[in-house]
Amino acid sequence: MMDQDELIAVFVEESIQHLESIEPDLLTMEQDLDNIDPDRVNGIFRAVHSIKGASGFFGLHKIGTLSHVMENLLSLLREEKMSVTTEFIDALFSGIDALRTMFDDVGNSEQIDIETQIDQLTSLLNASTSNPLTFNTSPLSSLPLTHATSNPSPLNQSESEVSESNSLATDPLATSHDSTTDKIGTDKAGTDKIGTDKAGTDKAGTDKGGKEVVMHQKSVGNKNAQGCQGITLESKIVTVKEKAETGKHSRTFDIPENMLDRFLKNGQWLYTITVYVKKDLTDKGKTPLDLINAIVSTGELIESRLDIDSIHGLLDCLDNEITFVFAFATILEKEFLPLALDIPEEQIQVIDTGQSHSLSQIETSTQIESQTIIEETIEAEPKGQIVEKTETEPKEQIEAKTEKKLQTPAESKTETEPKARLERKKQIVPNISMEKELKTSHPIQTEEKIRVGVTFLNDLVNLAGEMVLGRNQLNQITMPLVKETPGLNSVIQHISRITTEMQEKIMQMRMQPVSMIFGKFQRVVRDLAKKLNKEIKLVTHGEDVELDKSIIEALSDPLTHLIRNSVDHGIESPEDREKAGKPRQGSIQLKAYHQAGHVYIDIIDDGGGIDCTLVGEKAVEKELITREQMEEMGEKELASLIFKPGFSTAKQISAVSGRGVGMDVVMTNIKQLGGTVDIESTLLEGTTISLVLPLTLAIVSGLVIRTAGQHFILPEANIDELVRIKPDEIESRIDYIQNSCVLRLREMLLPLISLGDVLGLNHNSFVIKSDNSGKDQIEKEKQIKQHRYTTKQPTKNKQIQISKQTDPMRVAKQTDPMRVLVIKHGNSQFGLQVDAVENIEEIVVKPLPRYLKNQKCFSGASIMGNGSVSLILDAAGLFEKAKLHHIDLDRYRKKNRVDTRQDGKDIQTLLLFTNNTSERFALPLELISRIERIKASSIESIKDEQYLQYQGQKLRLVFLEDYLPVSRPERSPDDTIGVIVPKQMKHPMGIVIHLVEGTINAVVDIDTRSIMAPGLFGSAILENKITLLPDMYRLFELAAPEWYLHRSVLKGKGDGNEGRDKTQKILIVEDTPFFRMIEKDYLTSSGYDVLEAENGRQALSILSEQAVDGVILDIIMPEMDGWQTIRAIRADSRLKDLPVMAVTSLAEDIDPGEGLKAGFTQWEAKLNKERLLEKLAHMLKQGAKHEKEVA
Amino acid sequence: MNRQIATFNLGDSRLGIDILLIKEIYRHMSITPIPDSPPHLKGLMNLRGRVVTVIDLNVCLNRPSSEPIETSRLLVLKTDDEIGKYRQSGLPGNISLGHDIVGLLIDQMDDVITIQNSDILPAPPNLEETEDALIQGVIKQGEELIIILDVNEVLKKIMQACSSTE
């Protein structure tokens, strides 16, 4: 038995859920005011009703009163006595808001003033009904009255009906207990009767029957109910019925009239409850006394009966359930009874007192009946009643019989009574709408759920984290024992897998769909748009995308802000929109989707876009940036300025949102979640703001690195690539610019910082080698610290600092290779020099103790596999601490770019690898995300496909020998193999290799003739060896055609290629034959016609001769580079609107904003097939649109 | 009212802390130093999956830092949540230990002594170089003087040191 406090919590929770479910329904209703779906109205009605019902029980009068008025209004709508208007919806919304406020603080709900809402609602009510209703503050007592007034109905009619039915009810009851043969007879008779029934009422439909009729009867009963008279009437029935069945072993109950009267007056419900002695009591370890105590404390026991019918003798007395049926009056609504008595809901039935508190109540009881019916029939089978269940037997017969078995007095009394039915049907015919609504309510099958507190869940997450740690430790300790101990390996693997799975499941428990927050935005947009006199439609996609609960919660505010912003500043007024040739109604799209292990949430509006120059001017005016800086910025960068603190472009800061006021808060909030914000805006066309969020906060994949003998963790998400510099290359690849150190990486110059320096771990007195024992390290550390803190001489400190600056020279002298992590930092990158890179671990992030909150370099701590604590590095903090001269470096890089080019040809970096055969392969390094070393035994086979569990995903493995004309290697499960994981794939796939030979920087001259096969670009001679160049994306297509099918389908349908009546011609301008080929392959495979040019000059001559639909332009080319080419193209009046996409292998290096300013339509990284094609299609579409507009 | 004081040795002196504030005494230490942090912080340690901030009590008491020795232990303090229930039952002063677990590095554990509040005497002015603020008082046990630490003040001092580093 729950106490009231607990019950009230359940009530509040459920009510809030109800309110949440109402809102979208109301919004949908509002969209189409003339065409209201009665189901929807009913849904709302039911929700409001349940709130009202329970509020009375808890003595929450204000909630009761308000919901009661709302219910009345809804009931009018339900009966089609009024039509839906905007005022109506508004009134309901304000009611819902008031209810929500009250539920938020139930304890004080009585103090809240709801007069306005009530007035609003009542005025609507009075306006729409000729006989105004009055309201009582006690909803429960006033309810029957209002029902009565709205449904006047002749009393004598129903009375006669019912008495008639009772007299006849005896007949089928008697037969049901006769021999089986007799039963068939009766059944048939029953069918016949129903037949006549139907004929008599001229009703269509063949075998809907019993159940429907029952419902009719009930709805009539409900409608006919008339206050006290109704009660008298119904109580008579109960008594009469009981008499009719006396003598049979009946399970009906005799309820004295005066008692019934009293129950109804007190607003109590009557139930019959079936208790299975074994299932409900013995199995749960309860005694019958417990049950009786529970009953007595909840309500009033009217009568009970122990049913021993099912026991036929000693043999089955143990197998068959003894049932205990009791009639019971209580103030509790049906929803609460299962909780209060610990009895499954289906065993509880409401006695229709003819004055049912609402229709919904009856409906639920009907649904449950139909369930029990099925159960009962099955149970009945072994008892010799198989005949009953023949195929031909009409449904209603089974129902009728089981009804009798269950003996719900109100149901069975008319159940098998054709005449009574006839009567009722006649009466029902005019009321079709009521019937329809009842028919459509199907019992909803939902999974059983339990509520768990968030703290409990968090504990579980923590424990799961601990378990992962334990598993890691176990793995480490058992590693050397595995070989000697047979069976240990499999046990370890088993535990390992279970731990991972368990952790995943637990993390999943915290995952919630974004619909949790998306849902409320419909309302936000509606209200705001109304206030601002705008017409806006909000479209949401991907509501089922899930995120960690904590992220979902933290996301609510920033998203609300962004949406409000879009409504307020993004979308123009309908008039302006019309002038601009846009539809009056603006649209905001809210899109959630997964990409590359992150969740993206896009807010796309088709409004006016952001005026970047205006933003720039404003920023200069506010002294956020200098004019010089502004002039160097691209559009995107300028647009991003709105996220700077203290920025607002809104000429008038409205109450709703001043763009800029709080945009920086959005940025901060998202950053706190480990996410990023991206903005893309086209003036007059709209703005897209993308939030990129991690799936979860608690567990991240991190790279364990070591510097100065100490371990640190760097979240993998921050790392772009790992670079190993050979000792003899160090000198040539490290440069100094204005006293800061840079690393030459391909064609870029990366600012380089040393982790040891930033953290103050490297000291000129000792260069720490990796094999230093930890303790020594600590001791040395200590000395240094002591020195630093006790001397308190800033000048001295500075000297140490300066001497550290010369460290790269120290590095250069090293004989070990140098390790550099290339780290993403906003739009740029920097290199972090560390002593060693150890491995990747899934780490549980623990917050830093408060003493370390000021530490910029660390974002958290974690416990490693060996049980020690490691600090998690914060890339941004490190960078800030190192204070690099960002802008200077950028300039330098740009200047230097041209110089680094060698004899006009692009050098490719290729990964060389073998497949345990004599062939050698190469793949462009840029395509590869990482190479995993795994045990061949960890590959799992599913039918003919091989998978690897990888970062919580199923990585589909592709074997080269299956698709390429190469020899087949021998594989044994004990092998350690490599898996190449490509970058940015929609579907996780990997290529199985044997060994990585290394990387090579070379000018690749591809031979496409001598060795050719699908999935192969061709071959090349690299380092004097024939090397095959597989076409990775093609291989994937071959391996998993099903994942790529949709693309060709789309092609056929023309998605993204709309208006493409002829094949589109694309010019590829690219100096490197290798890339040219790959790009050409991508495009031709997608159905484009391709022209090729080796440099800008060639391209221009082609463009002058023939028309193309689009150009893909490389930036770095000999003779005439991409920048020059685009200027030339844009200078030509014929070509100024030609879509041109820039592709670059240095996606991070050059700022896309700059590119767009120069005149490029799009900007994309080379070799990213999916995105390239996507962007190309988009670009061409835009171009076509533009042309039309111009025309 | 009786109080129990856990006493321990650090350097040449004997110190004491109210036993109600102590969560446990921990033996196995593998401390991860925190780069670029004030010397008051010895490092971080894993205590059954929770991160403990290890404090160099010597530095706090203005003494030269020392390295852990064979008998060294970690006095793990309770957190605010854990001392909550003792607040009514005679925990002295308004103690706030924060929500992070803190461990004090000490040289050797000693007895637990039971005293009366009245046994605590004000600290003599000649008591080494330790700041007065950190000392709640002293107890005389025969010839020996036990310094009762004011944990609150110790933690405050550390917090100050940490805030001023950046």
The per-residue pLDDT for range A389-413, each reduced to its tens digit, is 434 444 444 444 444 444 444 443 4
Separation of alpha carbons A929 and A951, rounded Å = 13
Q: What is the mean predicted confidence (pLDDT) over A330-334?
A: 69
Q: Are residues A1007 and A858 in the same domain?
A: no
- Percentage of chain A lying above the pLDDT 70 cut: 63
Residue of B nearest to A870 (CA): B32
Task: Confirm or reject contact between A465 and chain B (CB < 8 A).
Answer: yes
At residue B7 the predicted structure's pLDDT band, cuts being 50, 70 and 90, is very high
- Contact across the interface for A851 and B36, Cβ inside 8 Å: no
Residue A333 tokens, joined: 């609504």
Query: Which of A466, A710, A854 lies at the smallest CB-CB distance from B49?
Result: A466
Residue A195 tokens, joined: 């037949």
Residue A879 · residue A832 · CB < 8 Å = no
Q: How far is B51 from chain A (nearest CA, A)?
A: 7
Most confident of A44-58, A216-230, A1041-1055, A1175-1189: A44-58
- Contact across the interface for A466 and B64, Cβ inside 8 Å: no
Q: How far is B88 from chain A (nearest CA, A)?
A: 26
Q: What is the pLDDT of residue A712?
A: 92
- Contact across the interface for B53 and A465, Cβ inside 8 Å: no
Query: Does residue A169 lie within any of the structural domains?
Result: no
Q: What is the pLDDT of residue A1145?
A: 61
Q: What is the pLDDT of residue A394?
A: 43
At residue A320 the predicted structure's pLDDT band, cuts being 50, 70 and 90, is low
A78-82, A201-205, A752-756: segment of lowest average pLDDT: A201-205
- Contact across the interface for B159 and A851, Cβ inside 8 Å: yes
Beta strand residue intervals within A518-573, DSSP E: 536-541, 546-548
Q: How far is A497 from chain B (nearest CA, A)?
A: 21
Q: What is the pLDDT of residue B103?
A: 92
- What secondary structure letter does DSSP report for B35? T
- Contact across the interface for A852 and B37, Cβ inside 8 Å: yes
Separation of alpha carbons A461 and A466, rounded Å = 9
Between CA A706 and CA A840, with CA B43 as vertex, the angle to 5 degrees is 30
- pLDDT of A436 > 70? The answer is no
Residue A61 tokens, joined: 């009068």
In A, which residues are within 8 Å of B162 by CB distance? 851-854
The per-residue pLDDT for range A251-308, each reduced to its tens digit, is 556 666 667 766 766 667 777 777 777 777 777 777 767 777 777 667 777 777 666 6
What type of residue is A103?
F
Q: Which of A869, A874, A881 is the best substitution to test chain B (most B C-beta atoms within 10 A)?
A: A869
Domain holding A955: CATH number?
A: 2.40.50.180
- Contact across the interface for A759 and B102, Cβ inside 8 Å: no
Residue A757 tokens, joined: 């320096």
A158 by Cβ neighbours in 10 Å (0-12 / 13-18 / 19+) ranks as buried
In B, which residues are within 8 Å of A710 by CB distance? 32-33, 35
- pLDDT of B144 > 60? The answer is yes
- Contact across the interface for B35 and A854, Cβ inside 8 Å: no
Q: What is the pLDDT of residue A405?
A: 42
Task: Confirm or reject contact between A459 and chain B (CB < 8 A).
Answer: no
- pLDDT of A600 > 60? The answer is yes
- What secondary structure letter does DSSP report for A584? S
- Contact across the interface for A778 and B67, Cβ inside 8 Å: yes
Pairs across A and B, CB distance < 8 A? 92
Q: Are residues A261 and A133 in the same domain?
A: no
Q: Which of A710, A851, A858 is the best substitution to test chain B (most B C-beta atoms within 10 A)?
A: A851
Q: What is the pLDDT of residue A265?
A: 64
- pLDDT of A544 > 60? The answer is yes
Separation of alpha carbons A1062 and A1089, rounded Å = 10
Task: Confirm or reject contact between A372 and chain B (CB < 8 A).
Answer: no
At residue A355 the predicted structure's pLDDT band, cuts being 50, 70 and 90, is very low
Q: Are residues A894 and A922 in the same domain?
A: no
Separation of alpha carbons A800 and A908, rounded Å = 42
At residue B8 the predicted structure's pLDDT band, cuts being 50, 70 and 90, is very high
Q: Which of B29, B31, B37, B154 is the best substitution to test chain A (most A C-beta atoms within 10 A)?
A: B37
Task: Confirm or reject contact between A469 and chain B (CB < 8 A).
Answer: yes
B84 Cβ contact list (under 8 Å, min separation 6): none
CA distances to A229, A964, A1073, B79, B89 from A1175, in Å: 74, 30, 22, 55, 70
Q: What is the pLDDT of residue A359?
A: 36
Q: What is the pLDDT of residue A863?
A: 81
Query: Which of A761, A855, A870 lies at the smallest CB-CB distance from B32?
Result: A870
Query: How many structural domains are present in chain A?
Result: 7
Q: Are residues A263 and A404 in the same domain?
A: yes
- What secondary structure letter does DSSP report for A108? G
Query: Which of B31, B33, B41 lies at the smallest CB-CB distance from A851?
Result: B41
Domain holding B69: CATH number?
A: 2.40.50.180
- Contact across the interface for A863 and B46, Cβ inside 8 Å: yes
Task: Confirm or reject contact between A877 and chain B (CB < 8 A).
Answer: no
The secondary element (H helix, E strand) that includes residue B60 is helix B57-60
Beta bridge partner(s), residue A1114: A1143
Phi, psi of A1142 (to 5 degrees): -90, 135
Separation of alpha carbons A1141 and A1113, rounded Å = 6
Q: What is the pLDDT of residue A356?
A: 40
The b-or-e profile of A687-696 (16+ CB within 10 A means b, else e) is bbbbbbbbbb
Q: What is the mean predicted confidence (pLDDT) over A515-540?
A: 84
Interfacial residues of B (vs A; Cβ cutoff 8 Å) = 30-39, 41, 43-46, 48-51, 53, 64-65, 67, 98-102, 158-159, 162-163, 165-166
Phi, psi of A115 (to 5 degrees): -55, -45
Residue B4 · residue B114 · CB < 8 Å = yes
Residue of B nearest to A711 (CA): B32
- Contact across the interface for B38 and A871, Cβ inside 8 Å: no
The per-residue pLDDT for range A711-759, each reduced to its tens digit, is 899 888 778 888 888 877 777 777 766 566 778 777 677 888 888 888 8
- pLDDT of A367 > 60? The answer is no
A548-552, A730-734, A785-789, A935-939: segment of lowest average pLDDT: A785-789
The secondary element (H helix, E strand) that includes residue A941 is strand A940-942
- Best CA proximity match to A863, nearest among A465, A510, A475, A508: A465
Q: What is the pLDDT of residue B86?
A: 67
Tally of CB atoms within 10 A around A267: 17
Query: So what's the ipTM on this one?
Result: 0.89
Residue A242 · residue A322 · CB < 8 Å = no
Domain holding A1060: CATH number?
A: 3.40.50.2300
Query: Which of B38, B49, B65 lies at the smallest CB-CB distance from A782?
Result: B65
Residue of B nearest to A779 (CA): B67
Domain end position, chosen among A857, A876, A898: A898
Task: Confirm or reject contact between A781 and chain B (CB < 8 A).
Answer: yes
CA distances to A296, A1115, A1183, B154 from A1090, in Å: 85, 19, 18, 74
Residue of A nearest to B160 (CA): A851
Q: How far is A822 from chain B (nearest CA, A)?
A: 22
A63-77, A654-668, A999-1013, A1103-1117: segment of lowest average pLDDT: A654-668
| Residues in chain B, total | 166
Q: What is the pLDDT of residue A531?
A: 84
Residue of B nearest to A790 (CA): B39
Most confident of A405-409, A846-850, A878-882, A989-993: A989-993
- Percentage of chain B lying above the pLDDT 70 cut: 87
Query: Does residue A806 lie within any of the structural domains?
Result: yes
Q: What is the pLDDT of residue A317?
A: 54
Q: Are residues A22 and A128 in the same domain?
A: yes
A537 by Cβ neighbours in 10 Å (0-12 / 13-18 / 19+) ranks as middle
Separation of alpha carbons A512 and A701, rounded Å = 21
A20-34, A636-650, A927-941, A976-990: segment of lowest average pLDDT: A636-650
Query: Does residue A111 lie within any of the structural domains?
Result: yes
* Average pLDDT, rounded, for chain A: 68
The per-residue pLDDT for range B24-83, each reduced to its tens digit, is 998 877 888 888 888 888 899 888 778 899 998 888 888 888 787 888 889 999 888 777
A785 Cβ contact list (under 8 Å, min separation 6): B39
Tally of CB atoms within 10 A around A937: 14
Q: Are residues A1003 and A1065 in the same domain?
A: no
Q: What is the mean predicted confidence (pLDDT) over A143-148?
A: 37
Sign of the Cα torsion B79, B80, B84, B90 reads: positive
Query: How many structural domains are present in chain B?
Result: 1
Residue A821 · residue A832 · CB < 8 Å = yes
Kindly give the pairing relationship between strand A536-541 and strand A586-595: parallel
Separation of alpha carbons A809 and A752, rounded Å = 13
Residue of A nearest to B30 (CA): A868
- Contact across the interface for B65 and A710, Cβ inside 8 Å: no
Q: Are residues A465 and A534 in the same domain?
A: no
Q: What is the Cα A231 distance to its own chain's centre?
A: 51
- Best CA proximity match to A963, nearest among A1004, A984, A992, A931: A992
- Contact across the interface for B39 and A851, Cβ inside 8 Å: no
Rounded to 10°, the helix A359-380/A210-224 angle is 150
Q: What is the Cα A167 distance to its own chain's centre?
A: 59
Query: Does residue A192 lie within any of the structural domains?
Result: no
Query: Which of A760, A848, A849 lies at the smallest CB-CB distance from B35?
Result: A760
Q: What is the pLDDT of residue A1062?
A: 61
Q: What is the pLDDT of residue B151?
A: 86
**What is the span of the domain harbouring residue A985?**
908-1041
Q: Are residues A885 and A944 in the same domain?
A: no
Q: What is the pLDDT of residue A1101?
A: 83
Separation of alpha carbons A754 and A764, rounded Å = 14
Tally of CB atoms within 10 A around A434: 20
Q: What is the pLDDT of residue A515?
A: 83
- pLDDT of A785 > 60? The answer is no
Q: Which of B29, B30, B36 is the best substitution to test chain A (most A C-beta atoms within 10 A)?
A: B36
Q: What is the mean predicted confidence (pLDDT) over A1013-1032?
A: 81
Q: Are residues A858 and A894 in the same domain?
A: yes
Q: How far is B18 from chain A (nearest CA, A)?
A: 23
Interface of A with B in 843-862 (CB under 8 A): 846, 848-858, 861
Q: What is the mean predicted confidence (pLDDT) over A1072-1099?
A: 79
Q: Are residues A462 and A585 in the same domain?
A: no
Kindly give the pairing relationship between strand A269-276 and strand A734-737: unpaired
In B, which residues are within 8 Å of A867 by CB distance? 30, 46
- pLDDT of A798 > 50? The answer is no
Q: What is the pLDDT of residue A1168?
A: 66
Q: What is the pLDDT of residue A573?
A: 85
**What is the span of the domain harbouring residue B87?**
2-163
Q: Decide: helix, strand or coil at residue A1093.
A: strand
A660-674, A745-759, A770-784: segment of lowest average pLDDT: A770-784
- Best CA proximity match to A1032, nearest among A1005, A1014, A1046: A1014
In B, which residues are within 8 Å of A854 by CB distance? 162-163, 165-166
Q: What is the pLDDT of residue A812?
A: 42
In A, which residues are within 8 Å of B48 by CB distance? 466
Q: Which of B29, B48, B51 is the best substitution to test chain A (most A C-beta atoms within 10 A)?
A: B51
- Percentage of chain A lying above the pLDDT 90 cut: 0
Half-sphere exposure in the Cβ direction for A296 (13 Å, CA): 6
- pLDDT of A922 > 50? The answer is yes
Residue A496 tokens, joined: 């390992």
Query: Does residue A161 lie within any of the structural domains?
Result: no
Q: Are residues A799 and A942 in the same domain?
A: no
Q: Are residues A1058 and A1110 in the same domain?
A: yes
- Best CA proximity match to A705, nearest among A800, A848, A815, A843: A843
Q: What is the pLDDT of residue A372?
A: 38
Query: Does residue A157 lie within any of the structural domains?
Result: no
What type of residue is A134?
T
Q: Which of A705, A785, A789, A843 is the best substitution to test chain B (most B C-beta atoms within 10 A)?
A: A785
Q: What is the mean predicted confidence (pLDDT) over A218-242?
A: 38
Separation of alpha carbons A1037 and A1082, rounded Å = 12
Query: Does residue A444 lie within any of the structural domains?
Result: no
At residue A53 the predicted structure's pLDDT band, cuts being 50, 70 and 90, is confident
Residue of B nearest to A774 (CA): B32
Query: Does residue A180 lie within any of the structural domains?
Result: no
